[in-house]
Chains A and B, each alone.
Chain A
Amino acid sequence: METSWSLHLLSEILSAFSTEDPDNLRNVVNRVAESVDAEVAAILCEGQITWCIGLSETDQIQLLEQAKQQPSNIPIRSGDLHACWAPIGSSDVLFVGRLGERFDLEERALLRAMARSIELSMIMLLAVTSERQARNDAYQQATHDALTGLPNRRMVLDHLRATIDHLVADAALVTAVLFIDIDRFKWINDAHGHAAGDQLLIHISRILTDSVRHDDLVGRLSGDEFIVITQSGDRHAASQLARRIIETIRQPIKMFGSELSHTVSIGISFVQPGDDPSVVLENADMAMYRAKALGRGRYANFCSSMRVLAQQRLSLEENLSHAADNGEIRTYLQPLFRLSDNTLAGFEALIRWQHPQHGILLPGSFLNQAEDSGLIQEMDMIVFETGCSAIAKWQQIPGLEHLRLSSNLSAHSLADPRTKERIKAILETTGINSCNVYLEITETALVEDIKSTASNIIALRNLNLRLAIDDFGTGYSSLLYLKRFPVAVLKIDRSFVNGLGLNPEDDVIATTIISLARALELKVIAEGVENENQLDLIRELGSDYGQGYLFGQPMSIGDTERCFISPRRPHPAVLTTP
Chain B
Amino acid sequence: MGTESWVTVGASTKPGSAEALTEALRALESPAPPKLVVALVAPHFDLATIADGLYEAKPGTQVIGCTTSGEISTAGAMANALVLWALGGDAIRVTTGSGQGDDLGLRNAATEAAHCLDQLERRSNTVLMMLSDGLCGDQMEVVRGAYDVAAIDVPLVGGCAGDNLAMKHTRQIHGRQVLTQSVVVAAISSERPLGIGVSHGWTAASEPMLVTGSKGNILSSLEDKPALDVYLDFFNPPENAKTDQTTFAAFAATHPIGIRRRDKIEMRHITGFNLQTRELITIAEVPQGALAFLAEGNFNSVLDAAGQSVQSALAALNGDKAVGLFLFDCVSRRAVFTEDRVHEETDLITSTCRNICGNIPMAGFYTYGEICRTKGAGGFHNQTLVTLAIG
The answer to the question of B320 belonging to the interface, with a C-beta cut-off of 8 Å to chain A, is no
With CB as the reference atom, state the residue of chain A lying closest to B379: A34
B153 and A37 form a contact (CB under 8 A): no
CA distance A3 to B375 in the complex (A): 26
The answer to the question of B377 belonging to the interface, with a C-beta cut-off of 8 Å to chain A, is yes
Q: Which of the residues A12, A37, A41 comes within 8 Å of B290, measured between beta carbons?
A: A12
B144 and A39 form a contact (CB under 8 A): no
A31 and B262 form a contact (CB under 8 A): no
Query: How many Å from the CB of A74 to the closest CB on chain B?
Result: 11
Q: Which of the residues A11, A39, A56, A100 comes within 8 Å of B377, measured between beta carbons?
A: A39
Residues of chain B contacted by A36 (CB below 8 angstroms)? 262
Residues of chain A contacted by B210 (CB below 8 angstroms)? 8
CA distance A77 to B289 in the complex (A): 35
CA distance A33 to B377 in the complex (A): 6
B375 and A16 form a contact (CB under 8 A): no
The answer to the question of B6 belonging to the interface, with a C-beta cut-off of 8 Å to chain A, is no
B375 and A100 form a contact (CB under 8 A): yes
The answer to the question of A14 belonging to the interface, with a C-beta cut-off of 8 Å to chain B, is yes
Interface flags, B265-308, vs A, CB<8A=1, else 0:
00000000000000000000001111100000000000000000
Q: Given that A37-B263, A56-B151 are known contacts, is A30 also in contact with B144, CB under 8 Å in the complex?
A: yes
The answer to the question of B226 belonging to the interface, with a C-beta cut-off of 8 Å to chain A, is no
With CB as the reference atom, state the residue of chain B lying closest to A96: B377
Q: Which of the residues A8, A10, A98 comes within 8 Å of B260, measured between beta carbons?
A: A8
**Total number of A-B contacts with CB less than 8 angstroms?**
81
For chain A, the count of residues having a C-beta within 8 Å of the partner chain is 36
A5 and B291 form a contact (CB under 8 A): yes
The answer to the question of B152 belonging to the interface, with a C-beta cut-off of 8 Å to chain A, is yes
A37 and B262 form a contact (CB under 8 A): yes
The answer to the question of A170 belonging to the interface, with a C-beta cut-off of 8 Å to chain B, is no
Q: Given that A39-B377, A78-B153 are known contacts, is A5 also in contact with B260, CB under 8 Å in the complex?
A: yes
Q: Which of the residues B215, B262, B377 comes within 8 Å of A54, measured between beta carbons?
A: B377
Query: How many Å from the CB of B154 to the closest CB on chain A?
Result: 10
Q: Given that A8-B290, A15-B289, A34-B377 are known contacts, is A39 also in contact with B262, CB under 8 Å in the complex?
A: no
CA distance A14 to B144 in the complex (A): 19
A59 and B151 form a contact (CB under 8 A): yes
Residues of chain A contacted by B147 (CB below 8 angstroms)? 53-54
CA distance A14 to B215 in the complex (A): 13
Interface flags, A157-195, vs B, CB<8A=1, else 0:
000000000000000000000000000000000000000
Residues of chain A contacted by B289 (CB below 8 angstroms)? 8-15
Residues on A close to B: CB < 8 A? 2-3, 5, 8-16, 18, 27, 30-31, 33-41, 53-56, 59, 76-78, 98-100
27 contacts between A and B (CB under 8 A): A8-B291, A11-B290, A12-B287, A12-B288, A12-B289, A15-B289, A18-B215, A30-B377, A30-B378, A33-B376, A33-B378, A34-B377, A35-B262, A37-B261, A39-B152, A39-B377, A54-B151, A54-B377, A55-B151, A56-B153, A59-B152, A76-B152, A77-B153, A78-B152, A99-B152, A99-B375, A100-B375
10 further A-B contacts with Cβ under 8 Å, apart from A11-B290, A40-B152, A54-B152, are A5-B291, A11-B289, A16-B287, A30-B144, A35-B261, A37-B378, A39-B152, A39-B376, A54-B151, A54-B377
